Chains A and B, each alone.
Chain A
Amino acid sequence: MNQPPFAAREAAWHDALHAAQVLAIDPAALGGARLRARPGPARDAWLAALRTALAPARPWMRLPAHIDDDSLLGGLDLSATLQTARSVSCRGLLARCDEGVLVVPMAERLDAPLGARLCAALDRQWIDGRCGRDGDHARFGVVALDESIPGGDGDDVAPAGLCERLALHIDLDDGVAPGESAVAADAVVAARARWRQLPCSDEALRALGQAADHLGIASVRAVLHALRVARAVAALAGHDRVAHDDLATAGRWVLAARATRLPPSAAQPERQPDARPNASPPSDRDLRDDDPPTDDAGPGDPTTLAEHIVQASCTALSAGLLSRLQGSAGTGHAKREGRHGASRAGTLRGRPVGSRRGDPRGGARLHLIDTLRAAAPWQTVRARERPEAPLRVQLRREDFRVHKRRQRRETTTLFVVDASGSSALHRLSEAKAAVELLLADCYVRRDRVALLAFRGTEAELLLPPTRSLARARRSLAALPGGGGTPLAAAFDAARRVVDDVLRRGGTPLSVWLSDGRANIARDGTPGRTQAHTDALRHARAWRDNDVAALWIDTSPKPQADAQAIATAMGARYLPLPLADGARMLRAVRACAPAR
């Protein structure tokens, strides 16, 4: 990876530092920040700067990954209740975080229920009372530390609902060199008092809306966030109204990361993907000098102003995002949306479903609440029986309850589709039909479907394991055909998907639609002999991972190559020269493991 020059990295750091101070003005109103950064000095320095700017007296909490509802939202303090024999309730973490910042480490691993609770609290800024407690204010901002690898094909993505509610999306990856990190705490305090009332002209608002439109951002919330951020930036800089540069800054921090397409003007090839923040941000120079608002960016025309914002946003697009957007220009939806359903399914593995009577030794986990619940009604009787007992709560063996877990084996059917020139294109449409039919079947049974296509020199996971009919249809519609047959690469890619499914406790099933005539070797060079050898080698390796496979030979005449590969990988071989979607579906169903 070639790093940007030091000056640009330093500028990026100042930009991030500037964002921290803006966030410190009112974390609750801005929702917070999603900080894409790996653990390291840059991230620590950024968090420290935010904390200093926020005023050290304000709450600063970290969210433990496995916090339970009582600790998060407030509820019965079980240990204190047992000790005092009086009901003792405690305030939850969120209520204690009021007026402060909640740091969510490893946000990409955050599970959906916890994410949903954070979202609800962010929306309402209020926690309903539980267990006899009154409700509490919970005005806090969230800093979601996102350590996922951009463009990685893992399923780990921070909950989309949570990210949507966080105004700032800041990237602190390799391109950032932490430098001097002094914050203007006084300016933050001054801005806090007046940012909300700063006037913002109608055309500025219009320009923000247009910019969001150009970048393909559907959510109105993003525009609202951008407006709030622009106000806060202006207040911090000492402006008496929202200036054009403030809007551009807001665009960079709020709109850029949410973009789902490139604006028409920026989609030209001359824009280099490595155009990371080289347009030097206004950064903290604006904070110190009391610059008058720079209003020279045109005669208040919202169209040009919108372009100004879009341009500023584009400079902040990371290389990976930019290339992805160029690939999918104009589809209106980025692929990343909606991975959530998939990652949620991971929690199905051994999900606790209630409790049963049992011995907590031997691996089973004690279900404390249910144990106490089982013992509770007998306490008066037992106390009468054994008044000398030292313990206030008398537990007996028959009270013990342990967690009952349900490990649902859900089947994920992976379609590996040959989209090369040799597989006639109409095959592709049959495969599409089969996938859709199977998916319609799956969503009744709550199983999942994935789609991998290979053509040219590589294999691409078009549809990560999903249940969403809407997503499947969209990605299928966009599946192109033509090019070489890189079978070996397809095996590698399929292996990754299957491993992922196994790791999550699912049962994978692979369906291969190809004529088996490989002509691209593993290293990407053309040549039929080497390609076939490579494919056979990978096929034999496939047999070892013990994943059920079905090979559907799609060529008009059954091919010896395909049969050889299918035999090597231990797949059922099925020549289907006239396959239609429905027949394919029946074949796949027959192959599916018994449940």
Chain B
Amino acid sequence: MSTPYPFSAIVGQQEMKQAILIAAIDPGIGGVLVMGDRGTGKSTAVRGLAALLPPMDVVAGCRYGCDPAGDHSRCRDCGAQGSLRSARKLRAPVPVVDLPLGASEDRVVGALDIERALTQGVKAFEPGLLARAHRGFLYIDEVNLLEDHLVDLLIDVAASGENIVEREGLSVRHPARFVLVGSGNPEEGDLRPQLLDRFGLSVEVKTPTDLGERIEVVKRRDAFERDAQAFVARWRKEDQRIRRRIVQARAALHDVSADDRALDRCARLCIAVGTDGLRGELTLLRAARALAAWDGAASVGDAQLRSVATSALRHRLRRNPLDDAGSTVRVERAVAEVFDA
């Protein structure tokens, strides 16, 4: 299959790259929503990042890609085997699964394996896209055009890390931890506010307006198309640096502390912009912690909070349709008030 474009060679789009990195460091963040123009490298970024992540250990023969080292969240087969540390392992690349528009619920959650049912008369479960995306990325283009009940279901699974299937006499539960990345064009309709709020981070992407930057995008892409191998080789070092940092950040994540001052800042910020519920604070803190781990900091500081505030909060504001100032501006204003006071 075709070589993915190197993540480190993506020009600009800092906020999007940061959001996806944070989600890769802490998948529990709850998905990233990327709304914006076409041709801004949304899917390129996701594929590029997945390709640079270290390949994962997978229990050989497991249909759900269970982690031999993880004692929790295993599928039923692997769970029955006790410790898997001695089990046969395979190395597999981090999966990126595309969820196509109009996919049926069967395809997404899995369904009765009709092939085995027909040929062997066995009632077996055929895993769906959620199982394939386990421990990787699930990418949904045009998430705003997706059926609401599917989006609900996806966000539910992404948050709980487990897919529960109860249908056609099947009763299956299997782990499905993935980073949900949804993208779309706001010109084609908005996402319901109820759904918006459930995404962890939200990013607005725009095509670069600076001519030099646009030319650079085209130049690199062109070089990649003409000789993919050479281009990838040129960026390999940079990609590997990012990979090391992600691995380190993942390991350090649980040791990053957040003092009362940081919590206070989070709460103030959320009160200032008027978010509903506590999800805003929790995500803000979680994202800042992941970013601190990425930065190699021991605790969550103002720099991290400032840096992730817009992504973590912009989609949680009550929308006033007559207010033309976008949510981004409102969050930025609040950030300035809270931090510069």
How many B residues, CB 8 Å from partner? 55
Q: How far is the CA of A303 from the CA of B174 in the complex (A)?
A: 59
Contact A380 B115 (CB under 8 A): no
Asked whether A376 lies within 8 Å of B98 as measured between CB atoms, the reply is: no
Residues 442-467 of A contacting B (Cβ, < 8 Å): 443-444, 446, 466-467
Is residue A266 within 8 Å, beta carbon to beta carbon, of the partner chain?
no
Most-contacted residue by chain B among A128, A337, A374, A376 (CB, 10 A): A376
Q: Is the CB of B142 within 8 A of A473?
A: no
Choose among A135, A164, A377 the residue that contacts B39 (Cβ–Cβ < 8 A). Answer: A164
- Given contact pairs A116-B141, A444-B192, enumerate 9 new A-B contacts (beta carbons under 8 Å): A112-B102, A117-B101, A120-B100, A205-B218, A205-B222, A218-B37, A467-B189, A468-B190, A469-B321
What sequence of 0s and 1s flags, for each residue 194-225 of chain A, a beta carbon within 8 Å of any chain B beta carbon?
A: 00110010000110111011000011111110
- The interface-forming segment of A4-12, A247-255, A431-439 is A431-439
The answer to whether B100 and A224 touch across the interface, beta carbons within 8 angstroms, is no
Report whether A161 and B38 are in contact in the complex, using a CB–CB cutoff of 8 Å.
yes
| Complex-state Cα separation, A374 to B111, whole angstroms | 12
Please state if A437 and B322 are interface contacts (CB–CB under 8 Å): yes
Answer whether residue B264 sits at the interface, using C-beta atoms and an 8 A cutoff: no
CA gap between A114 and B145 in the complex, in Å:
13
| Residue of chain B at shortest CB distance from A378 | B121
Binding site for A on B (CB under 8 A): 1-2, 37-40, 43, 98, 100-103, 105, 107, 111-112, 114-119, 121, 123, 141-142, 144-145, 148, 168-169, 185-190, 192-193, 207-208, 211, 214-215, 217-219, 221-222, 225-226, 319, 321-322, 324
List the count of A-B residue pairs having beta carbons below 8 Å apart: 176
B119: chain A residues at CB < 8 Å are: 81, 85-87
B192 touches A116 (CB 8 A): no
Q: A117-B100, A470-B187 are in contact. Are A126 and B141 (CB under 8 A)?
A: no
B residues within 8 A CB of A137? 1
- In the complex, are the beta carbons of B192 and A443 less than 8 A apart? yes
Interface size of A by CB at 8 A reads: 81
Name the B residues within 8 Å of A85 (CB-CB): 118-119
- Scoring A116, A228, A379, A469 by chain B CB atoms within 10 A of each residue's CB, the highest score goes to A116
Contact yes or no, B114 A219, CB < 8 A: no
Query: Chain A 110-124, CB within 8 Å of chain B: the 1/0 string?
Result: 011111110110011
> Out of B116, B169, B324, which one reaches A473, CB within 8 Å?
B324
B187 touches A337 (CB 8 A): yes
Report whether B115 and A131 are in contact in the complex, using a CB–CB cutoff of 8 Å.
yes
Q: Which residues from chain A contact B112 at a C-beta distance below 8 Å?
A: 373, 376
Assembly CA distance A219 to B221 (angstroms): 14
Cβ contacts under 8 Å, B186 to chain A:
468-470
Given contacts A112-B145, A126-B2, contact A376 B118 (CB under 8 A): yes
**From B37, B43, B189, residue with most partner A Cβ within 10 Å:** B189
In this complex, the member of B103, B119, B322 whose beta carbon has the largest number of chain A beta carbons within 10 angstroms is B119
Q: A479 near B: Cβ within 8 Å?
A: no
CB of A406, distance to nearest CB on chain B (Å): 11
Known A-B contacts A116-B102, A197-B226; the reply to A223 vs B190 at CB < 8 A is no
Across the interface, name the chain A residue whose C-beta is closest to B221: A224
A227 at the interface (CB under 8 A from B): yes
Given A372-B114, A468-B190, verify A210-B40 contact (CB < 8 Å): no
Taking the closest CB of chain A, its distance from the CB of B65, in whole angstroms, is 15
Q: Given A112-B102, A436-B321, A468-B187, verify A377-B218 contact (CB < 8 Å).
A: no
With A209-B218, A227-B222, A377-B123 as known contacts, state yes or no: A222 contacts B39, CB within 8 Å. Answer: yes
Bound Cα distance from A119 to B100, whole angstroms:
10
For residue B168, which residues in chain A have a CB less than 8 angstroms away from its CB? Answer: 373-374
Nearest A-chain residue to B326, judged by Cβ: A470
Contact among A126, A220, A581 for B40, CB-based, below 8 A:
A220
A224: min CB distance to chain B, Å = 5
Check: A547 CB closer than 8 A to any chain B CB: no
Q: Which residues of A contact B215 (CB under 8 A)?
A: 205-206, 209, 223
Q: Provided the pairs A119-B141, A120-B141, A372-B114 are in contact, do residues A220 and B100 lie with their beta carbons within 8 angstroms? A: no
Q: Chain B's nearest CB lies how many Å from the CB of A77?
A: 10
Known: A373-B168, A468-B188. A440 touches B114 (CB 8 A): no
The closest CB in chain A to the CB of B144 belongs to A341
CB distance from A240 to the nearest CB of B (A): 16
B residues less than 8 Å from A221 (CB atoms)? 38-39
Q: How far is the CA of A469 from the CA of B123 in the complex (A)?
A: 47
